[in-house]
């Protein structure tokens, strides 16, 4: 069963996409996959089980990019933090964990 992202995830992805537009091309952040994920999240597209699993993996691997800039204004952070928000940001961590628990409970994982 696919799930729609929550509002905080949508807000994070939208903010990162909008901020990226303000940067010169040489300073733009995000991989093609990260940008596609941000567009899906920002546009409230239902996310598949495989996408949710990939999101949790990315968020876990790159959590230090978020933590490094805790307390720093978003615009003053760095590309690692900005890219993290493309994937829904810290709001997506508990969301992905919840969805994966639901898949496991339903016997789908």
For 72-93, the pLDDT digits (tens) are 999 999 999 999 999 999 999 9
Measure the N-to-C terminal CA separation of the chain; round to a whole number of Å: 12
**Rounded CA separation 76/4 (Å):** 30
pTM here is 0.93
For 7-32, the pLDDT digits (tens) are 999 999 999 999 999 999 999 999 99
């Amino acid at each position: 069963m696919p799930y729609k992202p929550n509002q905080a995830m949508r807000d994070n992805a939208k903010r990162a996409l909008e901020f990226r537009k303000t940067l010169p091309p040489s300073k733009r952040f995000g991989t093609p996959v990260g940008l596609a994920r941000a567009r899906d999240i920002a546009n409230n597209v239902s996310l598949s089980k495989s996408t949710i699993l990939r999101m949790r993996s990315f968020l876990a691997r790159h959590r230090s990019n978020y933590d490094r800039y805790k307390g720093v204004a978003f615009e003053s952070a760095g590309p690692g933090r900005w890219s993290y928000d493309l994937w829904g940001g810290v709001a997506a961590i508990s969301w992905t964990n919840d969805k994966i628990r639901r898949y496991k409970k339903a016997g789908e994982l």
